[in-house]
Structure 1
């Protein structure tokens, strides 16, 4: 029964290890018992944590414990205000170090690679977080349990043997081991483990050296299993994986050895890697002969004493040619060249003729091999399986064959291998055929290109002549176009000057008239002053001068306002500040400035703006454009009569495509259809001389389409009102 956990008790396991330790795994195993794990890599860090932390137990690396006396162990115990057990962990456990560990006060001395689950159990038992398993009456314990090792060995499904350490002599084997090596128990127990290995491993190292190094690592706990190539009694190589467990008694030093045949796994990996290498060769266009040779050797490496060939069907579709067979006799391969395919043409010729796999398990007695039986017997061939290599269902490229020097039928693994080999050979040969076809097309194409080049050369000469004529015409056209552009610019400038002159003529003329009149009145006053000035005359002059000043000032202010308006025609981005702003704040400031004038006219100003729309643009020009639209509504939409229920609405929303749509609409008189196309022309107005210069919408159009990088659209129904829509990007163009 688990004792209840108390919050007052220390609940942290401190790990002080200089190298990597799987603290995460230990943390997971101790978490359900309410213990935490804290890891450090230096002795001073461990000491500091022991002073200030609620440490229940310490796992201390001997390498951090100090000198020979392991002084960090007692210092950790002294640093804690409660008893602190310390488990010392050693990377190279030995009896001398064990003695020093217990003398230093260690509660336990364990190897540093002690299994994490066993470590967790040992910690929980020591801290009494769990209780030991009870001893039941009549049940054996580990101390009293005795099992016959030979009986256990015989019943194992794995290949297992018992070996004496030092001499490597085999003491006992089970049935699976005898099957693995093809030897009797008597033969095996009269030899040693190294005699079951070849002199050298596949990497060239002596088997004795490899085995001794691996055995040393097993004993030190660095590894638990290793791979070793061994030999069947027939001489066949066996790729093995050995797992060893030391068994030590008072009288013997033994080793429990479990052997797993991983040959199939090795062959599968080699086949996979070989396929990838072949596909890379095909992709980079390696020579077909080199590719097929590599394919044949790859498949032969998967077979037990088998040889392979690749035959190609010649262009005549009736005879064959040897393409690859590095393990077959060269005279035999040469003898195959030019042989016909047919219904009884051996394995390969028949497979190509039938377009299906042909299995011949006994060459000497199969009618398909009757014409070639003597040749096969001469070279010791007894079985041959062949599969056609097809480009498609009807196009035969060749065949892939497996030969054996003994009578045998294919296994499922053999069928799988020949199918894979045929598929790869088909890819390689098909690519070669396509390359040859492309080469023929290239050669034909070169002939066509040469003929076409001659035609094009002739056409080029004709085109050059025509081009000269067109060049002359183009020069003339360019001169004409430049002249037209110059005339258009002069016409536009003339219209602008005329518009400016027309607008400024009235206030300047009025000012000149008043100035001229006052000049005459001043001369008359000077004359009266010489003959005696009456008070009434002076008073009349002053009244006239005051009226004249008012007229002149009003007209000059009008002229100044017109000049300011003209200057705003070309909006200069360099004078405007770009910033990131909230559209609602800009609109609120604008509406506050025009609210008074709108109310004076008895109108309602409605706002429908998504306040928190953010823009990276020019707030000043945007405000000017919106103010011009509002002024346009006041001057033109509500000028003719008083509107008790008239309104101006400003709305804005996100269009969802990186744009913001701003709409200003009114319920005024609207715009006549014939005027709508001209509303953005400079100086166009229906209220000339009545306070309008015809520049407001022109300036607004320039601001929206220029600096703000957007579009403006107008819609109007006479008698019902006008609407302007501004589509502006959230981020103005640079």
Structure 2
């Protein structure tokens, strides 16, 4: 019975919850929700009238005595249902809430569905429960709606338990039908008495029920799972929604049961089908797969025993396939029989290629020759379906046995279809594999013959291979010797160049130092006879000139040493950052261009403004600097000037294509393959160390994680192309 329209459920809490969902759900039952966050506002709302029930957060209920609860009851002037809600329910707080006048106790935060359920039950519990021996009587005053009317009208199975005695005090017809027991019998059974000894997860039902009741009494509101035992012995899987009630100091719990057995069986069947298909896919043994299938079907129906028989390749003989629950003697008696028009259910089904249903083995002529065997093992009904391949070829049969006469219903027929389909997949897969094995054996014979022919050819080839191997070994030795000689020659050229380059500044420094030492001795001698001002000034002028010469030559030597050290690129010191490539190149080229005063060089840039890189700008600058110097020293030497172009574009592979070209002398074809070799230069001893392009090559490949290529036509210039990742590797 729905409450009058526009009655109010007052929610007193300082927390923020899904008010819209709660209002919508309560409105469907004729209520409106009002939410306040202070005690004085709650009292004002109750004074205003129309409040049917209060949901009170313990955080706003006052002190430890929850005095706001009492004030709300007094303000209403009647017995006002108050549900105390706590974020951490406990027994002590529960007792204090009941002592303060609360009629119920629950948990925050709440599920909207569960909370509305509790509200509706709390409002509709208005019946005086009949007294039972040893059980307390309940006062009927103040009740507006009959609880039994509510229980009778609902299609769900509902029971109301006395929490103190653990026995039902009200049971509706839905519960009687679900459990297969009458009210009088159920009223003498505790909750644990309605369950099988164990739950599906293996836990004793006594522990499961005790844990469930403990959570409900603590105020926990949620859906619980519990399995019951029907009076006929079958298991009933249920989802329970329990709501704790308090009436005149007595604790009750309202339990609504929903039978989900069919749903769980359907889930188990789907999971079992997936498992079987997986077993077939990975090539599990046929017997193991069929055993799993039989147990899956047996778990879907009470009292069924399943079997699969296989038809031999001769098309006449039955072979035992799988029957994990049937007696082994019974299956042994069937194994080897020939199919025919009256060979039980399975032999006849395979012979006809059609389903055969025998509801009573002892009375059916198809079973006459085998009735005694079936009776000895207690089998009374058998329904068999042939397992077909391509609708015409029989692979075997699937059968369902029962120990009492019966005919199949719609659910059993559906299970038979599922089982025969899965069994057909497994058997066909095994037949195909067996056929492949036979073909493989024949193929192995052909391969053996062909192998013998090839072995002779192999022996002849091995002889030729030995000769080639010897020649290759000699060639490899010759190649290694040539490489060694090239390395020695390169090292000799390097040492000669280094010696020549360092010899000049060091020799100049030594000559100047020795000259100044001699002049110092001379001026000391002059000082003994009196030093003239002109002599001192001449000495100081010569000393300044010597200092300048020493500084230049030692600086040159240091620069040469530094260039030798730069062969190894120091990646640890490189700073990574995101930068605009066009701005960076412009800032880099400007000082390079300005430093070339003796030679008119035009530098053209073609780089989009939006082009950015997340890379190492300093090493990239060293690369551009090395290419620039290479153009000045080699490309434009002896020329009136030149033009350098630097271009960049993004590729579709998250790379930057950066090209550097000049219109200088170019590189001879015989030198292109060696330009990245360390110390290779065509101007050794004339200012070039042969390290610039080597260092640039190492930076591009190592630090920047890219690639560099070169093209050149002598007399027309050179073009270097670098493919650099827009985001450099770490």
How high is the TM-score relative to the length of structure 1?
0.59
Aligned equivalent of 2:335? 337
C-alpha separation in 1, matches of 2:274 and 2:672:
71
C-alpha separation in 2, matches of 1:256 and 1:109:
14
Aligned equivalent of 1:649? 645
* 1:579 is aligned to 2:575: yes
Q: How far has the Cα of 1:303 moved from its partner?
A: 3.5
CA 1:422/1:566 → structure 2, altered by over 3 Å: closer, same or farther? same
Aligned equivalent of 1:536? none
Indicate which of 392, 414, 423 corresponds to 1:416. Answer: 414
State how 1:76-475 maps to structure 2 within 5 Å.
89=84, 100-101=99-100, 110-112=104-106, 116-117=115-116, 153=152, 188=182, 192-194=186-188, 201-203=195-197, 227-231=227-231, 235=232, 237=234, 239=236, 241=238, 262-265=260-263, 267-269=265-267, 271-272=269-270, 292=290, 295-303=293-301, 305-325=303-323, 332-360=330-358, 383-390=381-388, 396-404=394-402, 409-426=407-424, 429=427
- Cα offsets for 1:183-223 (capped at 9, x unmatched): 9xxxx577554589997742269999999998998899767
Q: How far has the Cα of 1:399 moved from its partner?
A: 1.1
Aligned equivalent of 1:24? 17
Superposition CA RMSD, Å: 7.2
Aligned equivalent of 2:563? 568
Indicate which of 485, 490, 493 corresponds to 1:492. Answer: 490
- Cα offsets for 1:166-195 (capped at 9, x unmatched): 897999976x78877889xxxx57755458
State how 1:5-20 maps to structure 2 within 5 Å.
13-14=12-13
CA 1:465/1:611 → structure 2, altered by over 3 Å: closer, same or farther? same
CA 1:260/1:716 → structure 2, altered by over 3 Å: closer, same or farther? closer
CA 1:76/1:239 → structure 2, altered by over 3 Å: closer, same or farther? closer
How high is the TM-score relative to the length of structure 2?
0.60
C-alpha separation in 1, matches of 2:431 and 2:92:
67
C-alpha separation in 1, matches of 2:246 and 2:446:
87
CA 1:323/1:147 → structure 2, altered by over 3 Å: closer, same or farther? same
Give 3-state SS (helix, strand or coil) of 1:387's partner.
strand
C-alpha separation in 1, matches of 2:237 and 2:209:
12
Give 3-state SS (helix, strand or coil) of 1:726's partner.
strand
Contact residue 578 and residue 617 of structure 1 kept, 8 A: yes
Aligned equivalent of 2:659? 663
C-alpha separation in 2, matches of 1:270 and 1:199:
26
- Flag structure 2 segments of 5+ consecutive residues without an equivalent: 46-53, 73-79, 121-140, 520-537
Give 3-state SS (helix, strand or coil) of 1:579's partner.
coil
Contact residue 194 and residue 208 of structure 1 kept, 8 A: no
CA 1:96/1:721 → structure 2, altered by over 3 Å: closer, same or farther? closer
Contact residue 286 and residue 426 of structure 2 kept, 8 A: yes
CA 1:61/1:259 → structure 2, altered by over 3 Å: closer, same or farther? closer
C-alpha separation in 2, matches of 1:463 and 1:120:
93
- Cα offsets for 1:634-679 (capped at 9, x unmatched): 4666566656xx753334455564654433334x455387688478
> Is the radius of gyration larger for structure 1 or structure 2?
1
CA 1:376/1:86 → structure 2, altered by over 3 Å: closer, same or farther? closer
C-alpha separation in 2, matches of 1:249 and 1:14:
24
Q: How far has the Cα of 1:309 moved from its partner?
A: 2.7
- Cα offsets for 1:544-590 (capped at 9, x unmatched): x99xx99xx99997998599558736623359942225665764553
State how 1:18-57 maps to structure 2 within 5 Å.
24-25=17-18, 29=22
- Cα offsets for 1:408-461 (capped at 9, x unmatched): 543321121112223444455567667878998999999999999999999999
- Cα offsets for 1:347-373 (capped at 9, x unmatched): 312332344434455768877667667
